[in-house]
Every structure is written in C-alpha cells, then in structure tokens.
C-alpha cells in the first residue's frame, strides 16, 4: 500500500464547496453591472449607490470591449473548426485574459510579438474614438496600453472577489479520510485553484498543513519555501496558480519586498499595522495566475518558480497521482504530467470524474492523444464519479490496482 497519497485538484473540485464555475465567472466579468472602479484602480463588486469617479462608464466601456473580443475568439474557433469545444474550453475569461495579455505585452514592449501589430493598431484606433466620448465625464484618459492593463486588473480583481466565499462542508472528505488513515504517512495536495476552500476545510477540521508560509512577529504569514523540506505535518499544500490571499508587501521606509499570506480576519490589506504607527504596504494585487498559455511564462517568475520546481521535483518520486476537477487544458501542467507518465511504466493516474469521455474530448491534444494508450496499459484508472461522492473504499481499491 502506498504510504504517500498525491492529489492534483482543478476548479471542478471546488464546485461542491459553492465556488463559482468558469462560466459564472465569465458571465460576471462580461455582464455584471454592480462593479465599481476605485480611485486606486482596483475593481470591486458593489451595490453602492455612489459612483466612484462615475466608474460605471468605465466598467461599461471595458465590458463592451471584452464582448467584442469574445466574438473574435468565437469566430477564430469557428474558422479552425473547433467551435464544438468552445463552450467547454475556449470561450471564457481565461481566453480573453490571454488575448489581452498578448496585446498589452506587445504594445508595452515586454514581449515581442509582431503578429499582433495589425489587430493592436485596429483596436487602438477604435479605443481612441470611443474613449474620447467618456473621458470628459469620468476623467478616464489613459493610453490604449494602459487601458489593456486595466482590463487585466479588472479580470483578476473580479475573479478574486467572486472567490472570496465561505466553504460548504465535506467537499474533500477523501482528504480527511486519508489524513485519518494511520497507514498513510504523507499527503501532497497540488491545486490549480486560487480560492481558499482547501485551507478552510483543513482548518475547520483542525488539521495542520504546510503551504510554504510560516508565522512570524508580523500579522501576516511569510513565504519561506524551505519549510517544505523539514515539514513536520502530514499534509503539504502546493498552490501552483497562486492564491487570492497572497500579496507582496514591504515595510514603510524599506525597499525590500516579500511575499505574505493574509489571514482571513484582516480586511484592510493596503496598509497593515504591525507595530504602533508602523505599517506594511501592499505592493501588488493578488498573486494569482490567470489566462491560458501566458501562465507558462509566469511559472518562471516570483515565487511560482519555487512552487513549480517543487512540483516537478516531487513528480520523480511519485508513482500515482489522484486527479480530479482538472480539465487538462493547462499546457504547462499537461507537459509535466505527460513527461512524468512516459518516464516509467509504473507511473499511473487515478482519475475521478463523472464524465471521463467528455473530459477526454475537451482535453488538449497532449493528453487526449495519450488517453487510450494509458487506459489500455492500465496507467489510467478511472473512477466515474464526482470527487465528493467517491468513497474511501473506492479510492483504496483503485490505489491497490495501481500498485
């Protein structure tokens, strides 16, 4: 029997914890009217009657721009004959984010991409004609590149706003049962989710875990990845796409930045008092990775290079991964899984999904093309159920089959 259990979670696992679907998030980003832009350039879901900088005009401008881009994405997938996959994979806020990221990165000179020049110029021309209509009413007179930056911030902020939710009980009971099993010595949880549902679940159960952050004399937890090596807890949590409560901070009158995790009880995060009249100042927005192919660039930045190094390194010592809620649409994660699966005949995936054929159909080619080969060679073992409906006995049986 395996003494270590390894889970890889995607957003589908969090749905039973009352977290929003990708479709819900996309609809909110494209259509929600109760959104306001604050003077600090942050975006909030709000039912307030006051208009911050008459920001409803800016929100309407952003949403109409996104709807136009969404039509372009739809037309592209019609042209390449993949519109049958569109509603499951392509037409969502992550695809919109990636398209805007390409335009912004090219326009700012961050990444050279000559092929987007024509569409950049075309959209810039339309932007200039439309922004002139609202700029006198709401003082919004930014350049096109900064407008694109605002849209990226808008998507990130609204996603995080929607994910700040309290957990419904029981959604990862298999983790609780694995924790209670004395035969299991260690549990690794790799998650692609930004929400804090796993942490909330473990904390409600009184289960200690290591996620790379430690307590200090500051009111926030500090990122210290070396604690993964000397982890004294049974559970290690690796958030591969970041978290809604991770930020960069610096102390006042200090030029050094550090990554901190903000406890739920702290509501005001822009400046957090740590001593009398001494404050921590937030440097950036949420440390999350949004988009599609652009995420692979971010895997090499900031703390993400540390997290993904540990993920990649741990794979070499792992024989079985239990995967649930993941759509197999992240090319970077898919590459790591494919390389790991092909490295040894003993490497196996236990997939928990209520509709595995639909999942295979909508997966990216790297996984789709290997699916039946893995299945026929008993490297892919499928439990055709929702994660929260799977019993510990069913998982144990699948694990024994994987040995």
CATH of the domain at 324: 3.40.50.1220
Looking at residue 389, what DSSP letter applies? G
Note the pLDDT of residue 86: 47
Decide if 367 contacts 334 (C-beta within 8 A). yes
Note the pLDDT of residue 400: 87
320: helix, strand or coil: strand
State whether 150 and 174 are in the same domain.
no
Question: Which of 163, 180, 212 is the last residue in one of the domains?
Answer: 163
Decide if 336 contacts 312 (C-beta within 8 A). yes
272 half-sphere exposure, CB direction, 13 A CA radius: 23
Does residue 289 lie within any of the structural domains?
A: yes
Measure the CA–CA gap between 301 and 289, rounded to whole angstroms. 11
User: Between 144-163 and 56-79, two packed helices, what is the crossing angle to 10 degrees?
Assistant: 90
Measure the CA–CA gap between 110 and 45, rounded to whole angstroms. 30
Note the pLDDT of residue 91: 82
Lookup: tokens for 35: 């959104």
Burial of 385 (0-12, 13-18, 19+ CB in 10 A): middle
State whether 380 and 366 are in the same domain.
yes
Note the pLDDT of residue 2: 57
Cβ neighbour number for residue 226 with a 10 Å cutoff: 9
271: helix, strand or coil: strand
Does residue 250 lie within any of the structural domains?
A: no
State whether 236 and 363 are in the same domain.
yes
State whether 350 and 202 are in the same domain.
yes
Note the pLDDT of residue 81: 73
Note the pLDDT of residue 84: 61
Does residue 259 lie within any of the structural domains?
A: no
Note the pLDDT of residue 264: 84
Note the pLDDT of residue 244: 95
H-assigned helices in 139-263: 144-163, 173-180, 197-204
Does residue 271 lie within any of the structural domains?
A: no
Burial of 9 (0-12, 13-18, 19+ CB in 10 A): buried
The domain in which residue 128 lies consists of 22-163
State whether 230 and 365 are in the same domain.
yes
Does residue 266 lie within any of the structural domains?
A: no
State whether 57 and 189 are in the same domain.
no
Q: How many helices (H) and strands (E) does the chain have?
A: 15, 17
Question: Which of 131, 163, 195 is the last residue in one of the domains?
Answer: 163
State whether 100 and 201 are in the same domain.
no
Nearest to 280 by CA among 219, 190, 226: 219
State whether 33 and 99 are in the same domain.
yes
Measure the CA–CA gap between 399 and 403, rounded to whole angstroms. 7
State whether 130 and 177 are in the same domain.
no
Does residue 38 lie within any of the structural domains?
A: yes
Does residue 255 lie within any of the structural domains?
A: no
Please list the residues that pair with 271 across neighbouring strands: 281
Domains of the chain: total: 2
State whether 195 and 240 are in the same domain.
yes
Please list the residues that pair with 305 across neighbouring strands: none
Note the pLDDT of residue 88: 54
Is pTM beyond 0.75? Reply is yes
pLDDT along the chain (403 residues), means of 10: 87 90 95 89 76 79 95 84 60 94 91 88 93 85 94 96 80 93 96 95 94 94 93 94 95 89 87 88 88 92 94 94 96 96 96 96 92 96 96 93 77
State whether 37 and 172 are in the same domain.
no
Measure the CA–CA gap between 257 and 223, rounded to whole angstroms. 11
Q: What angle (nearest 5°) sits at the alpha carbon of residue 290, between those of residues 330 and 226?
A: 80
Question: Which of 163, 195, 226 is the last residue in one of the domains?
Answer: 163
State whether 345 and 372 are in the same domain.
yes
**Beta strands in 174-313, from DSSP E residues, in sequence order:** 186-191, 209-210, 213-214, 221-223, 235-239, 242-243, 246-251, 258-261, 271-275, 278-282, 287-288
Does residue 278 lie within any of the structural domains?
A: no
Beta strands at 242-243 and 235-239: parallel, antiparallel or unpaired? unpaired
């Amino acid at each position: 029997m395996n003494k270590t259990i390894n889970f890889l979670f995607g957003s589908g696992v969090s749905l039973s914890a009352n977290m929003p679907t990708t479709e819900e998030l996309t609809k909110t980003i494209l259509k929600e009217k109760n959104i306001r832009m604050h003077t600090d350039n942050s975006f909030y879901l709000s039912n307030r009657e006051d208009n911050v900088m008459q920001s409803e005009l800016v929100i309407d401008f952003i949403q109409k721009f996104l709807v136009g881009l969404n039509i372009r994405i739809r037309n592209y997938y019609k042209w390449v004959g993949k519109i049958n996959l569109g509603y499951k994979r392509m037409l969502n806020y992550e695809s919109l984010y990636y398209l805007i990221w390409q335009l912004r990165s090219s326009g700012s000179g961050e990444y050279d991409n000559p092929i987007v020049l024509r569409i950049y110029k075309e959209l810039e021309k339309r932007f200039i004609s439309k922004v002139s209509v609202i700029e006198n009413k709401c003082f919004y007179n930014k350049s096109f590149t900064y407008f694109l930056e605002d849209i990226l911030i808008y998507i990130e902020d609204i996603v995080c706003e929607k994910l700040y939710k309290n957990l419904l009980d029981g959604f990862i009971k298999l983790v609780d049962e694995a924790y209670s099993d004395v035969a299991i010595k260690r549990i690794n949880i790799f998650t692609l989710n930004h929400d804090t549902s796993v942490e909330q679940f473990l904390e409600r159960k009184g289960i200690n875990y290591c996620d790379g952050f430690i307590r200090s004399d500051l009111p926030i937890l500090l990122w210290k990845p070396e604690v993964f090596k000397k982890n004294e807890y049974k559970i290690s949590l690796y958030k591969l796409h970041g978290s809604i409560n991770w930020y960069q901070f610096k102390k006042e009158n200090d030029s050094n930045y550090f990554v901190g995790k903000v406890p739920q009880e702290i509501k005001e995060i822009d400046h957090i008092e740590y001593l009398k009249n001494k404050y921590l100042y937030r440097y950036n927005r949420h440390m999350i990775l949004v988009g599609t192919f652009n995420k692979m660039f971010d895997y090499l930045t900031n703390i993400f290079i540390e997290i993904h190094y540990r993920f990649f390194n741990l794979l070499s010592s792992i024989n079985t991964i239990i995967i649930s809620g993941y759509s197999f649409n992240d090319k970077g994660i898919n590459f790591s899984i494919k390389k790991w699966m092909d490295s040894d005949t003993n490497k196996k995936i236990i997939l928990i999904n209520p509709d595995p054929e639909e999942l295979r159909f909508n997966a990216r080619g790297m996984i789709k093309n290997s699916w039946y080969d893995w299945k026929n060679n008993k490297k892919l073992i499928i439990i055709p159920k929702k994660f929260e409906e799977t019993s510990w006995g069913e998982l144990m049986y699948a694990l024994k089959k994987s040995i």
